[in-house]
Structure 1
Amino acid sequence: MAGIFNNVLGYIQKYKYNKRFFRKSLVMILIMASIPGLIIGLSIYWIATNNVEKELQGLHQNQISNRAANIDDQLAFLEMTVSHWAFDSKFDEKLKTINFAYNYDTVQDMYRTLLSLESAHPFLQKVELFLDKPRPLVFSTERYTFLSNQSDIGNYESLLQHDKSMFWMLRKPQGTGKQGLAIINKIPGDSTEPFGALIATLNQDNLLKVLKTLTPYDEGVTMLFNEKDEWNLSSSGAGGSELDLALKEAYAKHQMELGEAAVKDAKPESFLFDYNKISYSVSYGHFNRLGQKWVYISAAPLSSITAPVIAISKWILVISVSGLLFALLLSWFVSRRIYHPVQRLMTLLSGEKNDEVKDEFAMIEKHWQHMSKESETMRHKLEEQMPLLREGFFLQLAQGYLISLQESDMKERMKRYGWETEDRQFVALVFQLTGFANLEGRFSQGDESLVTFAASNIIDELIRSQYEQAEIINFHNFSIGVLLSFPLSHPSTWLEDDLEQVCQEIIRAINRILKMQVTISVSKWVHNVKQIPHLFEEVKQALVYRDLLDENQIIKTEQLSKLNVYKETGYPFTLDKEIINAIRNGQESGAIDLIAQFMKELAANGSTEFMLQQGMLQLLGSIRYASLQSGMNPVQLFGSVNLFEQLAQIKEPEEMLKWFQHKVIGVFVQEMISRQDYHFKQIIEQVIVHLREQYMTPLSLESCADLFGTSPYTLSRAFKQITGINFIDFLTNIRISNAKSLLIETDMKINEVADAIGYQHSYFNRLFKKYEGITPSQFRELNRTE
C-alpha cells in the first residue's frame, strides 16, 4: 500500500504546475470538495435516507412506464411500416398476372424487396408474401413455393377471409416449425378484393429481450399476452412458470377491485404481491394493437429495488469521511481530468512541445484568429466558384438528372443560388443554331463549342438586360437553354408579346454577329419546379419540327397541335433505287449527287427537320439492306457504331450529306471495289485471251461486256485498272502487232493484211502510221531491206 502511495505521490510531484488554467481549476475544486462534502454527507444520511426508498420505488414505476411506452412505440412503428408495404407499387394488381416461372427479373426483384422488408425492423424475423392469384404460392427471402396441399392453401386463404385488412395472430411460418407472433396485412392495401397478404413474423428472442427491460433487475419476471389469452410471452420461458400463473390471477383480482371505470381508463397501475415469502412490486399496463388489448405485467422483488438504499445507508458516513481525507488527492485527479481536453487542444495547436506556453487561452485565441482568416479565404473561394456551381446545377436540372428530388428539395437548392421559387411560374426556351457548314472558313471543324459559347454570351447579355430572374444553360451542341421565372401575377399574354420581341432581337444579333440561323422553341407556363425538366424535354423535341426552308423560326409548343407538323411528304422512291444502283456500280460521286437531289426533294414541300431525318433514316436502312443483298455484313462493314443514332444527332442537311459521303457511301463503295477486284481480274484475263484469239473479228467494248456478263462502264474501268491501258488501245496494240508480223513474214497485200486484222484499208494505213510513225509499205520495205 505504501509503495502505491509513494508512486502516486511521485507522479504528482513530477507534474508541472506552470499552467494558469490548471492552477485555477485545482484551487476551485479543493474549495468545493473539502467543506461542502462533509455537510452533504451528513445531510444525506440524516434527511434523505428516509425518502430514498420511496423515491426509488417511484423511479422504478416511471422507468417501467417509459420502457413500456418505448415498446408500444416500436410496435406502433412496426404496424405503420407493415401497413405502408401494402401500398407499395410492387404489390399492386400486376402481381395477379405475372408468371413467376418465366419472369426471372421480377422474382429477383421480389426477393430483394422481401429481404429489404425483413431488415426494416429489429423485431422482424421472417417476412412472407402469399399470393392467391393466379396460383397460390408463398414467397420468402430464400425461395418461392407453389402451394398444392389443400390444408396449407386453406390456412393461407383463411387470412384473406379475416374481417380486418391488418391484424395480429399467432402462427407458424412456412419452413420454421415454430409458432410465433405475426402481423398480417392484406394486399393491395387499397383494394376491396385482396388477393394476397404480407405475413411478418416477429423474432421471439428479440421481443423477449425488449420485454425484459420492463424488469431492470436480474430477478423478477415480465409477461405479455392479449386480453383473450390466445398467446402468452414470458421472460421465464415458453412454458411459463407458477409465478406467471399467480401473477395473472393477481392481475385479474386487482382489475376487479379497481372496477370497470378504472379498467376502461387503461392507465398503468401497480400493486404489491407476495409469493413464496417474497414481496414483489407488480406493474402492469395495456397496449392497444389493431383493435386488440395487450397486457404487460412486470414483477420485481422489493429487495432488489431497495437494496441500494440499505448499502448506501451504511456507507454514507464512511464515504463522507473518506472523501474529506482524500479531498486533496481527488481534487488533483479531477483537475487533471478537467484540464485534459485543454491539454489535448494545446497539443494539437502547438505540437508535443508546448511547455513554453504559459497562457493556454491566449494560444487558443491566436489559433482561432488564424482559422477565422482561413475560413474567410475559403468563403471567398466558394463565392468565386458559385457561378460554376449554379451553372452545373441548372444544367443537371434541365437534363433531368435531379428528377428524383422532391419539389421542396429542388426549391431549397434553387434558393441557395439566389432564385425565388415561391408563388412563381416558369417558362423554358431552347435556341438551336444552324448553318455552321456554310460559314466558309470563318470557323473550322471542332469549333462547335466555341460557336455555342459565343451565342450563349449574346443570349445572356440580351436576356439579363430584360428579365431579372433568368438562367442561361449551355448544352455545347449548338443549342442553348434559357429558364425564366416570373411572379404568378405576370400576364399570360406575355408569351405572344414581350417574349417574341426579345427572341426576334436575339435572332437578329446572332445573324449579324455569327452569321448563323436560329430556331427558338418556347414552352408553356408551369408552376412547379419539378416540371422544369419536362419543359426542356418538350422544347427540345419541338425543334425537330422546324421548317427547313425557313432560316429563322420561333416554335411554341402550345401551338404545335394547331400546326400541320405531320403533313404528308412524298418519299423519292425512284431516287432511292438510283442511289442504290450507283453505289453498287461503284459510282461514289454520282451517288453523292443523287443523295443531294434526294434531300432537296424531301425538303421541297416545306418538310420539317423531323421529316427530313425520317427520310434519311429510311435511306440509310435501304443502303444497309443493299449491303446485305451484296453479301456484306453491315456490322463488319460499318463497324460496331450505331449509324442510326449518329444520323439522328445531325440537324443540318449539309452535315447529313457529308456524313453519308464519309461514313456510308465511301465505305460501301470501297468494300465493293475490294470485293470485285479478284472477280474482275479473272474476267479481264478471259477478255484478253478472247481479244488475242478473235482480234480479226469486229470487236467492241459493248460486245465483250455482254459476252462476259458485265456492263461496259464496269468492264472499261476494271480493264484500265488491271492492265494499265484502256480497252481500245489494248485491242489496237494486238492488231498492230499481228499486222507487223504479217507484213514481215508474208507477201500479203496491204489491204489483205488490213482485212486479216479486222480493219478497213484506209483506216489501217492511218492507224499504223499513227502508232509506228511510217506507213505499212514503208515498214515492210524497211524491215526486208535489213
Structure 2
Amino acid sequence: MFSTLLTSLPILFLGVFSYTIASKGIQEKVDEGNLQNLLQTQMRVEQLLKTLEYVVMQYVSSPIVNNALYKSLTTATHFKEINDLSQGLHNLHFFIGVQDASLINVRENWYIGKNGFGNNLKELADYESLERYTSMRNNLVWMPDPTSSPEMGTLNLICKVPLLNFSVETSALLILKIKKSDLNRQFLAQNELGNLFVLDRSPQAVLGDPNIGELSVEVQNRITEMIESLQSRNGHFPMDWEGRDVWIHFIQSPQHGWTYLAVQDAKKSTMEARQIGIFTLASCAALFLLFGAAALYGSHWMYSPIRGFVQFMRSDLGNKDEGDVKDDFADLAQRIRHLMNSGLQMQDQLTFYAVQLRDSFVQRLLAGKITKSRLLEHLSATGFPVAWKRLIVFVVQIDTLKNTRYQERDNDLLLFAIGNIVGDLVEPMKRFQPVSMDNSQVTILASEFETDEECSRWALSIAEDIRIKIAEFLSLKVSIGVSRSYVDLVDVSGAYQEGLEALKYRFQLGSEMILHINDIQLNRNKETVYPKQLERDIVDAVKLGHPERISTCLEVYLLHAIQSNIHIQEFQFMLMQLIGSLTELLYGSGLSAEKVLGDKQVAHHLLQGKSLIEWKRWLLDEIAMPIANHLRDERESHNNRITEDLIRIIEREFESNLTLEDCSARLNFHPVYVSRVFKKETGLTFSDFLAQHRLRIAKKWLVETDMTILEIATRLNYANSTPFIRYFSKATGVTPGKYRKDHMQL
C-alpha cells in the first residue's frame, strides 16, 4: 500500500501539471486541428475535382468527340460512333460519386447519357438550363443543382465543347453529375474536430455534413458577413448558431472561389480540459485496481487481434453498427469484396497519376534535379525513349495575347493545347513528354541522327511545322527557341537554358521566329555607346507628362538598341539604367518609387525575353506613365499649396502694404514663379486679386459700419479717398456714398 502510494504521488503531480498547461493551450490546439483538418479536406476535395476536370478535358479533346460534334447521329447509321462515345462516358463513372455523365450536342440536337441515346433535347430533365449553360463565360464550371440541398442532389461539372472555343456559339455540352451524399460521406462525415460545410460565391452551401442538417439562409449570410469583415483567406471567429455558441473555422480557396467551414462547439475545449482532469484522477485510481484488473486485461489482450481486425474493416469500409451484424465472417467477406472493387477504381486513378509522374520527371530533368545514376531507373519506369543518338530541346513561348480573342487567364490552357499539338505532330518514341514550365512549353526530342548539323535541321523542320499548326488551330503567334544537340541526358537542363536564351533575342529579330542558339551572331568588335541623349529625351518627356512624346522617345530608344546589335545582357543593363534615371525623378520630388510603382516585379520582367512591341508596352504602361502621372499630380498639389498660402496672406494682411515680392520671399519662391502659378490657379494676377478682395471688404464696411469713406480708404492702404472712389466707381458703377445709401435703405 505504501509503495503504491509513493508511486501514485508523482503521477498525480504530473497529471495536475499537465492539466494546468493543457487547459491554457487547448483552444489553440483545437483551432490548429480544425484548420489542418479543413486544409486536408480542401486538398482532397479539390484533388478529386482536378482529376475529374482533367479526365473530362481529355475526353472532350479526343478525336471521337471532335469528329461527332458536327454530325447528326442516328442509331441506324452511326451505331459504332454512338457506342464509342457511350463507352467514354461510361469510364467516367469509375470515379467517386459520379451519378451521370451526358454529352449533349445542342448544334445537331442529339444526346448520349446514362439512359442511352436520344434525338430530342426536350426529353432531357436539364433542357431548361441548356441555354444558360451554353451562354456561360467560362468553358469549365462547377455548379450545384439549383433544386438540391447541401446533403442531397448533385454537384454538376459543365464543360463547353469544343474546349478551346472562345466564340459565342457552343457546339455541345458535357454535364458530369456527382452525388453530394457520396462526397459528404467521403470527405465531410465522421469528423472529430467539428462539422464541415462548403460554400460557393453565392453564398450557397455546396456540400455539408449530413449529421448537422441544412444551413439556413440567415446563417449563411451571417457567416459570409463575418468572413468579409476579417479580410483574410483563413481564420476563425465565434458565432451564435441557432441558440448555441460555436467557433467557425474557415479557409477560402482561390481555385473555385469556395469557402470551407468547420463548426466547432465552444464547449468542447472546456470539456476536453475536464476530460484531462478526469483522466488524471482515473490514472491514480487505476494503480490501486491494477492487480484486480490483470485477469480481465489478459482475456481482453488475447481477443484483441481478431476484434481489432473486425473493427478496422467496419470503421474503414462502412458505417454499419455492430448490433446489425449477425455473422462477423460473412460481414468480413462482403467488405473484402468491396475492397476489391475499390482496387479497380484505384487502378484508374493510378493511370492518371502516371501521366502526372511523367510530367514531373521531365520537369525535374529540365531543372537538373535528377542525378545521372538514377536516370536509367526513371526512364524504364516512365516509358520514355531509351535509345537515341542525340537529344535536342525546343522551347515554345507565346509572343503576345494582345489583339487576340484570348486573355492572360487562358495562358495555362493555351500551353496545354500547344502540348497536345506537339504530341500529335511528333512520334512518342522520338520525344519525351511535353511539359509547361515558366510560361513556356518545353519538349525534349530524341534524334536518330549522329551529327549536330543533321539533328538541328530535323529539329528546325519540326519547329516550323509546330509554329504553322499553332497559328492554324489557335490563331496565335509563337516563337520557338532551339538548343544545341547533346548525347547525354543529363545535359538537357543546359539545353533548356539555351532555348530560353535564344528566345530572348526576339527584341532584335521580332515575333513568330524560330531561333537556334547557334544562329545568334553578334558583332562583338563594335563598341557599344549608351544613348545618353535618348535617355534625357525620355526623362524630359516624362517630366512634361506628354504620353505621345513618351511613346515616341521610347520607340527611338529601343530601335537604337536593336540597331546597335548588342548582347541581351547589355540590353537588360540599358533598361536598368533607364529605369534608374526615371526613378530618380521620383526621389527628386520627394516621392517613393515603391509607392508609385508598387509591386511591379521589375527585375523579373527584365530577365524575360520579349519582343520589341512587348518591351515598349511594358516600359510605357508599367514604368514611364505611372511616374509621369504621379509627377503631374505632385506639381498640381504643390501649386495648390502656394496659391492657398498666398490667399491666406492676402485675407489676413490686406490692410498692410502687400507686394508680390514680399509675399514670394515669405514663401521662399521667386516672384515670377509665384505670379505664374497664382495666375494659373486663380485666373487673376496678384494685384487684381488683392484689389478685388479689398473691394469686397470696402462694400462690407460701407454697409455694416459707420466709418467714413476716407477712413475706409486709409485702412485699405489708399493714399487718400480720391483713388479709392475712382476704383470703386469703376468696379461697381456707383460711388461709395451712393452704394452705402442704396444698401442702407434695404
In which range does the TM-score fall when normalised by the shorter chain?
A: 0.3 to 0.5
Q: Scaled by the length of structure 2, what TM-score is found? A: 0.43
The structure, 1 or 2, with the larger RCO (C-alpha pairs under 8 Å, 6+ apart) is 1
Please tell me whether Structure 1 or Structure 2 has the larger radius of gyration of its CA atoms: 1
